[in-house]
């Protein structure tokens, strides 16, 4: 898992630099093996990190952590971005849902990235969740996948 995360963090680095952001990766110290397709995991992480870059203002920070949690592995993407209100959190994985209705497709994507990411996670026996303390307080997205071993 950590190798996939490193690859995605490296791949998104040009966007991070263009947006004057910092990205940090804090891997679990031990090797983490999951029962998952590495390309689909990378696709999910690219979506989560791309959103973090898009919604984190200049000078902000994005942290990616991997953790073992019983029979699961968690990849946590945490940002210091604009945050999500409590009223919008239950709906952000719904197709075409936009927490900020002023964002047009040209500036905010198609509105299906998180839906696809969640369905990919489900197909691999995992899930994605989201949390935020509110506007201006950043967001945390957690990808959970079954652990091997």
| Residues counted in the chain | 149
The Cα angle at residue 61 between residues 59 and 63, in degrees rounded to 5? 170
What confidence category does residue 35 fall into, taking pLDDT thresholds of 50, 70 and 90? confident
Cα–Cα distance between 27 and 65 in angstroms, integer? Answer: 5
pLDDT tens digits, residue range 54-104?
999 999 999 999 999 889 999 999 999 999 999 999 889 988 665 554 444
Q: Note the helical H segments in 22-149.
A: 38-54, 105-108, 113-123
Coil, helix or strand for 55? Answer: coil
Query: Whole-model pTM above 0.85?
Result: yes
The Cα angle at residue 105 between residues 111 and 25, in degrees rounded to 5? 60
pLDDT at site 110: 59
The Cα angle at residue 92 between residues 140 and 96, in degrees rounded to 5? 140
For every residue of 90-112, DSSP letters joined together read: GGTTSTT--SSTT--HHHH--S-
**For the chain, what is the mean pLDDT?**
90
| 99 HSE (CA, 13 A, CB side) | 20
């Amino acid at each position: 898992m950590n190798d996939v995360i490193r690859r995605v963090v490296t791949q998104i680095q040009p966007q991070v630099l263009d947006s004057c952001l910092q990205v940090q990766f804090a891997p679990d110290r031990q090797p983490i093996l999951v029962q998952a397709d590495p390309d689909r995991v990378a696709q999910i992480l690219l979506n989560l990190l791309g959103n973090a870059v898009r919604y984190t203002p200049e000078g902000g920070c994005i942290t990616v952590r991997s953790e073992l949690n019983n029979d699961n592995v968690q990849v946590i993407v945490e940002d210091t971005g604009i945050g999500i209100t409590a009223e919008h959190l239950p709906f952000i994985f719904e197709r075409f849902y936009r927490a900020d209705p002023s964002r047009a497709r040209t500036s905010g994507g198609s509105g299906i990235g998180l839906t696809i990411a969640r369905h990919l996670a489900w197909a691999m026996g995992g899930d994605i969740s989201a949390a935020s303390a509110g506007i201006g307080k950043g967001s945390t997205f957690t990808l959970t996948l079954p652990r091997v071993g």
